[in-house]
Chain A
């Protein structure tokens, strides 16, 4: 493997790890609220979260190009950060990935939280367990399997991201040139041999990750 490929590999790993970490953090309260809250706007938020599942990456890429750029609504923030645009940078890709992989993390967690029996929580409450105590001692351990699903799907889906990165990445080695883009570039420039190595590697990785997931006795995947 040449330096550029290694760089792409490392960059993709960093991006997927950071994206998954952020997603697990923000998805936990969001999924909890979606599963157990009964606000009138629940279905609205749920639809919003699921949008990346059905929208073509071109739509997301197009709007990110505008929203994260110097003609978008984030200009005050960009000025404060001293940046002209968030596109074509690692931070921009991170924002894009978090949006794009959101449903893959929120939906398993939501299902896990929905499965927790309310009487059990009520009983714990009657014995004096606080809200947080109930969450950390009952809800979280019971949702472990769903956290694993969310982790694997969030990570692999970020690794597999292509269309959005093609539109807001700018293909900068070491900064935005992720694996999928590197493979695309190899195929387009007729370097089929190199493309085969990376493509087969990615195929095996994703396959292995999914086998790991399905090997455990688990309820059907929500996505």
Chain B
């Protein structure tokens, strides 16, 4: 009978030794984890990921703490955190989702701070001046209506709503608006030649300019609503890194990477 066979002596012996082996592996792994510094888990909005990587490298070098970065849209991260994802720190692309997290009953938010302001730029496949896009000059509405442009989806990305507002403020109506699901996807559409122009994040344009992008033109931040990006501290494990992001050193790096930083903030605050 089957039930008898299972408990025959050799099988039992095998189960015993296998259990022992598995236990030994677990105990070994557990020891390994305990020796290392705790890893800080950070969720970051896609636009800030390259900048955060630089900050994380510097911080890790200083403190010997490992930082695990997960980059996605803030909407996705919000849903994940709200459903128990164990991030220590969440850098949102906007204020709304950071604020919403604070209002959730099941989530404990220890602190909330603005870490950067995003900047918009035009990115072009041929020199931007070909499209009459230059500093302090805008293309005419008639010219503009011949072009297809890529921009971030205003429902999904704060850069998208700022872009829409910018176009509306200047009565600019492109032939076709191709809406990317996040600000980085606008580059996919532009660099593959499918659109003439794209409204992009300055931080991404800075990163791409040297090798792929033909030209870009920064748009004055007075011409669209501010893209304020906030972060929330979800676990005290992330406290040190949270403070580091607000430090003078980090602020310089953030600025160099194409953002504005909040004005009133004490060093190390």
Q: Which of B75, B97, B192 contacts A187 (CB 8 A)?
A: B75
Interface residues of B in 96-111 (CB under 8 A from A): 97, 100
Whether B153 pairs with A185 at a CB distance below 8 angstroms is yes
Question: In this assembly, does A88 line the interface, its C-beta being within 8 Å of a C-beta of chain B?
Answer: yes
The distance from the CB of A51 to the nearest CB of chain B, in whole angstroms, is 21
With contacts A69-B194, A87-B194 known, is A188 near B76, CB below 8 A?
yes
Whether B179 pairs with A172 at a CB distance below 8 angstroms is yes
Question: In this assembly, does B214 line the interface, its C-beta being within 8 Å of a C-beta of chain A?
Answer: no
Q: Which of B75, B79, B194 contacts A88 (CB 8 A)?
A: B194
Residue on A nearest B156 in the bound complex, by CB: A188
Whether A71 pairs with B192 at a CB distance below 8 angstroms is yes
Q: How far is the CA of A69 from the CA of B178 in the complex (A)?
A: 14
Question: In this assembly, does A44 line the interface, its C-beta being within 8 Å of a C-beta of chain B?
Answer: no
Residues of B contacting A126 with CB < 8 Å? none
Question: In this assembly, does A166 line the interface, its C-beta being within 8 Å of a C-beta of chain B?
Answer: yes
Q: How far is the CA of A167 from the CA of B153 in the complex (A)?
A: 13
Interface residues of B in 164-211 (CB under 8 A from A): 176-181, 188-189, 192-194
Q: Which of A70, A166, A187, A190 contacts B194 (CB 8 A)?
A: A70
Question: In this assembly, does A206 line the interface, its C-beta being within 8 Å of a C-beta of chain B?
Answer: no
Question: In this assembly, does A171 line the interface, its C-beta being within 8 Å of a C-beta of chain B?
Answer: yes
The distance from the CB of B81 to the nearest CB of chain A, in whole angstroms, is 12
Question: In this assembly, does B73 line the interface, its C-beta being within 8 Å of a C-beta of chain A?
Answer: yes
Question: In this assembly, does B155 line the interface, its C-beta being within 8 Å of a C-beta of chain A?
Answer: yes
Q: How far is the CA of A70 from the CA of B179 in the complex (A)?
A: 18
Whether A171 pairs with B153 at a CB distance below 8 angstroms is yes
Q: How far is the CA of A70 from the CA of B193 in the complex (A)?
A: 6
At the interface, is chain B mostly helix, strand, loop or mixed?
Answer: mixed
Question: In this assembly, does A189 line the interface, its C-beta being within 8 Å of a C-beta of chain B?
Answer: yes
Residue-wise interface mask of A (166-181) relative to B, using a CB-CB cutoff of 8 A (1 in contact, 0 not): 1100111000000000
Residue on B nearest A70 in the bound complex, by CB: B193
Q: How far is the CA of A184 from the CA of B75 in the complex (A)?
A: 10
Question: In this assembly, does B59 line the interface, its C-beta being within 8 Å of a C-beta of chain A?
Answer: no
Whether A85 pairs with B75 at a CB distance below 8 angstroms is no
Question: In this assembly, does A49 line the interface, its C-beta being within 8 Å of a C-beta of chain B?
Answer: no
Residues of A contacting B156 with CB < 8 Å? 185, 188-189
Interface residues of A in 26-84 (CB under 8 A from B): 65-66, 69-71, 84
Residues of B contacting A85 with CB < 8 Å? 148, 193-194
Total A residues in contact with B, Cβ cutoff 8 Å: 20
Residues of A contacting B189 with CB < 8 Å? 65, 87-88, 170
Residues of B contacting A184 with CB < 8 Å? 181
Residue-wise interface mask of A (120-158) relative to B, using a CB-CB cutoff of 8 A (1 in contact, 0 not): 000000000000000000000000000000000000000
Whether A188 pairs with B188 at a CB distance below 8 angstroms is no
Residue on B nearest A173 in the bound complex, by CB: B179
Q: How far is the CA of A184 from the CA of B179 in the complex (A)?
A: 14
Residues of B contacting A88 with CB < 8 Å? 148, 176, 178, 189, 194
Residues of B contacting A66 with CB < 8 Å? 192
Q: How far is the CA of A197 from the CA of B210 in the complex (A)?
A: 46
Residue on B nearest A64 in the bound complex, by CB: B192
With contacts A188-B155, A189-B156 known, is A170 near B192, CB below 8 A?
no
With contacts A65-B192, A71-B192, A71-B193 known, is A171 near B181, CB below 8 A?
yes
Q: Interface of B with A (CB < 8 Å)? A: 73, 75-76, 78-79, 97, 100, 148, 150, 153, 155-156, 176-181, 188-189, 192-194
Q: List 28 A-B contacts (CB under 8 A).
A: A65-B188, A65-B192, A65-B194, A70-B194, A71-B192, A85-B148, A88-B148, A88-B178, A88-B194, A166-B181, A170-B150, A170-B179, A170-B189, A171-B153, A171-B178, A171-B181, A172-B176, A172-B177, A172-B178, A184-B181, A187-B75, A187-B79, A188-B73, A188-B156, A189-B156, A190-B75, A190-B78, A190-B97
Q: Interface of A with B (CB < 8 Å)? A: 65-66, 69-71, 84-85, 87-88, 166-167, 170-172, 184-185, 187-190
Q: Ordered nearest first, which 6 A-B pairs have the shortest CB separation?
A: A188-B75, A170-B178, A171-B179, A71-B193, A189-B155, A69-B194
* Contacts A69-B192, A87-B194 supplied; 5 other A-B pairs, CB < 8 Å: A71-B192, A84-B194, A172-B178, A172-B179, A190-B75
